[in-house]
Each structure stands twice: as C-alpha cells, then as structure tokens.
Structure 1
C-alpha cells in the first residue's frame, strides 16, 4: 500500500478515536463510588447540603456517593484533600463560595484556593440575616441606624468569623449609614448565637440556615436580609435593598467543586447530574425547610466571574479598616 495513503488512514483513525474518547469516558464514568469531601464539620451547613444531594446524586450517577467531612483550616484541609486526589472526577468537594471569595483575605494559605477549585454547580443559596436579641429596641434596619447614630461606638455586632461576609456587612453598614457598630468576632455561628440569645451582644449577621430555627422560636428577631428579594422562609423580613442599602446585598452559596484539571467529561457528567437533582420539587422543598433555596443553574464561567468580583469587594472593605490575615 502507498505509504502516504497508509499514513493518512492512520491519522484519520486516530482522529476518530480522539473524537469518541470523551463520549466513551462519559459512558464509563463513574466506575467506582464518588467521594464528596465536605469543607465543614458534621451537622454544619456544607454537611447538610451534601447529605441532601448525596443519595439522589448517587441514583443519577449509578454509583454510591460517600460524604467525607474534612473540617478545619478555614477550608484548607478539605481543599488540600481534593488536591491530593486523582484527577479522574471521582473526588469532588462541597463547600461555600467564601472558600474563594473570603478565606484568602482571612488566612494565609500555602496555595491559591481560586486556582485549585472549579465550581461545577451551585447546590444551594441563602442570604445573611441581621438578627437581634428580642429586647433590642430597633425593630428594623432604619430604626437600628437611628438608634446607633445617637450612641456612636456603644453598640456591638457579632460575626461567625472575622473577615467573612458576616463581618464585612457590618462594616458596609457603618460606612453607608455613618454609624459606628463595634465588631465582635467569633469562631462559628454557635458561640455567637449563644451570646446573642444571652444578650451579651445585641446584634449579629448570620447565615439564614443557622438562625432560622431561633427566629421561628422567637429566641432572636430578624431585622433584615441580604438577598435580592425576600426569603420565602421569612416573607415579612425586608431586604437590605428595600431598607435603602443595596450595597449590602450578598448571597452565600454552596457549590459542588472539582479540581480544574480533572477529567472534562466527568465534570460535564456530574454537573448534568447535579442540575437534574436540583430540579426535583421534593429536594427543593427540603432545601427551603433547612433555610436554603436550591441553587441556580449558572455556568462555571458565571460563578467564577462572581467569585472574582466578590473577592475584590471583600478585599476593599477589609483593607479600608486595616484588616490583616492571620
């Protein structure tokens, strides 16, 4: 046979195989259980979302989905575990967007989190709610601002961690309203909420999922929420935008992440499966019961652009008050 013709046929065959390879990979994947590394402790928000989606995701993928909690290090331990895993799509991470947009401002890490994580799907979302002790005299944000203006530096607010959005929202309110709320940082929502209920601090910015049971029981009171529209769980609580502070709008979302260089067909398959799971009305109802809304079907590119914008936004506010990472 003519050598040139033989070479052309070999090239055509190789090209055909290359075209078929991703499809064959997608059909074969996953070939073993999928591990969901959770950037948080058992019972935390990330764990709650991971366990809500694990079983239906397993049904879609045809393999067990195993939840593996790796708390600590402001999420660095979980990200490090993902970095050490094989890049074949069988190891994923569930964690909040602050891993990329906030944590790098707070803790000096040995790697660039934004370069190690790629968002595949937004699983759940919720706003931050400004909550108060029931005895606090202000019943809404406008009354709080008026009350604080007459008491500069005398009123404190808690956050679940310094440098996070629960801290930053108070700084934005101070700058926007010309008041001087004093920040008190905690290590987690639980100790901050305990002090709030004990009236050791009068105010706190917290995630809706952790505050919602206490709001419903009357142990704390909601003054406003950071979502673009009112939360369906708290229809009577106005948004910060409604109160005249659109700059305080913020969304926390729980993402399903992979390593950017993991197998592309696996990324596409797991994203498709996750979006199908999130479209189920039963799952969406369970999300609402726990203080979340089901995530929106945004693309990886859209989520990445938002992460960069939020990173810059948080950084500018923290720099304005001289905040330094640990």
Structure 2
C-alpha cells in the first residue's frame, strides 16, 4: 500500500508561500499613534499577520505632514516587506508642495483602499455653540482670536477647514499638528476653536461628551451620529468630502505581491468583527483591487487639486 501523504495546500496558500518573501513586514504609518490612520492601519496589520502567518509590524514614523514616513517607504526595497498605510493626503501632497523628496503618484504601487469615513466638525463641549451657524457667529464676533486645528497640513481635514473658512467668511488661523490626538487635546481644552477631523479618532470623544459635533461632511448623516446634520444641511453645499485610507508599496513591487495583499485585506474587511469596529467610527470598508485603487487615486488627486486651487492653499 502506498504511504499516506499530506494533503496539498490550497492553491492560494501555496502561491503565497512561493511568491511572498520571508520575514516580518513593516507597515509604516506616517502619523503618531492614536490617530485615525494608525487605528485603521493597526486593524488591517493584525489581520494580515494572521493571514500570512508572520508579523505585520506597525511603525509610526511621523513628521512633515506625513512625508517622512512616506519617503521611507518610497525608498525601501520593492519586496513586499515595507508597506505604507496612509490617509488620502498621499495624493494631495503633489499640489501643496513645490518640492517633495519623492513623487507620491509615481514612486508607489497602489495596493488597495482600506476604508472611507466622513469628516466631522467638532468643538469643545464647553464652547457655547450648538450649531454650525452658532460657530460662525462666535468666530465672527472675535476677529483674529480664533483658530482651527488639523492633524497635519494638507490633510482632508485641513482642506475642509480652509473651505469652511472661505465659505463662511470667518477669520480663523490654521493650526497644524503632528497627528489628530494632540490636535483634539487642544480643541477639548479650548486652546483651538474648532477642527474638522476624521471620525475614527474623535467620535469616541464626542460620544463621551468631551467634544461636540456640529456637522459631518458626508453626503448623508452618519449612522453613528444621526442627530448631527451634514454640512450641506447646515448651508454649505460644496462641503462634501471624506477621509479615506489606503495601502501602498514601493514602486516596482511585484504586482502578484500587491494582489495577495489586496485579497487578504478584502477578506479582512468582510469579517463581522472588523465591519463592526469600522462601523463604530462611521467607516466603510473598501478593499479595491490594485488597478481600481490606482484609478481612484488619480481621480481623487485631480479633485483635490481643484479644491486646493479654489482655496489658494500653498505650503512650504
């Protein structure tokens, strides 16, 4: 009788073991711990660790509006062992900076989109304003005394703040931070008047009563904050935008590696616990293929270019 043999691995696992190089994978998040990019990145990294049976280690490499961490990935070996989990600022930066250490649109391989969430306008719960119009009135009564925070210059939250400033005619100075967590701390304390922030990092503070949400930038109200109007409902029809998160690899990374990663991310986003976690912060999983994600990046880049031109935003 012939000796028994082990059952063959499923085709997908066999291919993964043949084409993905051995070793731990570094997932660079170009912002500090605790912010929305970090939250989404860690959820996905944990699932990828389980899927590939190896550590996907999140490394927070903050600074220069996310450019330091992104540059480290752009210059890394294209072997699938270094990835970038970044916010949509990745495709905005080319229109904000005259000089960059890398080309955000050419020096990366778009792997997959991760999640998308509306941006919410928040103020300290101790600030005596209950609506968007209350905030406008409050700031206009204090010319030159108010400011708005962002997690970093050039982020969607920053652009939303600039658009709001222009549309409402208020005088408010932009105060960029190194991540959402320190920015929200200063909003809560009243050192900064308001902030447009991605929901993953601030919704817990809203539900906990430390911040008050006045509006959301989605096309419809957030399911987790049904009593908060959209900015369109508040009288600002052009303020519809989302923050989205994606996964990139260095350019020239083999496409088969990108496709393996995308397939596992797509599976992870379908898990009930991951969907529930994202739903808690009003985020929707995405998981597009590399080809679809690349086209999405180009489209979003062109859209943000128009916003930057309209708001006349320039950064050094």
Tell me if TM exceeds 0.5.
yes
2:259 corresponds to: 268
1:201 is matched with which residue?
192
Do the aligned residues in 1 keep the contact of 2:21 with 2:79 (CA within 8 Å)?
no
The gaps in structure 2 that reach 5 residues or longer are: 1-13
Provide Cα deviations, 1:46-85, integer angstroms capped at 9, x if missing partner.
Answer: 3322221223223333443232332223322322322333
Aligned twin of 1:184: 174
CA contact (8 A) 2:118 2:283 kept: no
Normalised by the size of structure 2, how large is the TM-score? 0.82
Does 2:83 correspond to 1:98? no
Structure with max Cα Rg = 1
What is the CA distance between 1:103 and its match in structure 2?
A: 6.9
TM-score normalized with structure 1 length = 0.80
Residue 152 of structure 2, aligned match among 156, 161, 167: 161
Paired residues for 1:20-39 under 5 Å: 28-33=18-23, 34-39=25-30
Residues 94, 167 of structure 1: CA spacing in aligned structure 2 closer, same or farther, 3 A cutoff?
closer
Shift of 1:167: 2.9
**Cα separation, 2, equivalents of 1:154 and 1:78:** 34
- The answer on 1:313 being equivalent to 2:306 is yes
Question: Which has the larger displacement, 263-272 or 155-164?
Answer: 155-164
User: Counterparts of 1:196-275 in structure 2 under 5 Å?
Assistant: 196-275=187-266
Report Cα offsets for 1:174-211 as digits up to 9, x if no partner. Answer: 3333x223123132333433332222333222222222
- Contact 1:106/1:162 (8 A) holds in 2: no
Change (3 A) 1:146 1:74: closer
Provide closer, same or farther for how the CA distance between residues 91 and 139 of structure 1 changes in structure 2, counting only shifts above 3 A.
same
| CA-based RMSD | 2.8
Work out the CA distance in 2 between the residues paired with 1:155 and 1:185: 10
Select the structure that is richer in helix: 1
> Structure 1 stretches of 5 or more lacking a match?
1-23
Question: Once the two structures are superposed, what CA deviation does each residue of 1:256-312 show, in whole Å capped at 9, x if it has no partner?
Answer: 1112321011111111111111111111112233x2514224322342233322431
The count of corresponding residues between Structure 1 and Structure 2 is 299
CA displacement at 1:149 relative to structure 2: 5.8
Query: Which piece of structure 1 moves more, 125-134 or 25-34?
Result: 25-34
Task: Quickly say closer, same or farther: Cα 1:83–1:201, change in 2 above 3 A.
Answer: closer
Q: In the TM superposition, what is the alpha-carbon distance from 1:98 to its structure 2 partner? A: 0.6
- More off after superposition, 74-83 vs 121-130: 74-83
Residue 85 (str. 1) matches residue 76 (str. 2): yes
Counterpart for residue 119 of structure 1 = 110
SS of 1:308's partner is helix
Mean Cα displacement is larger for which, 154-163 or 86-95? 154-163
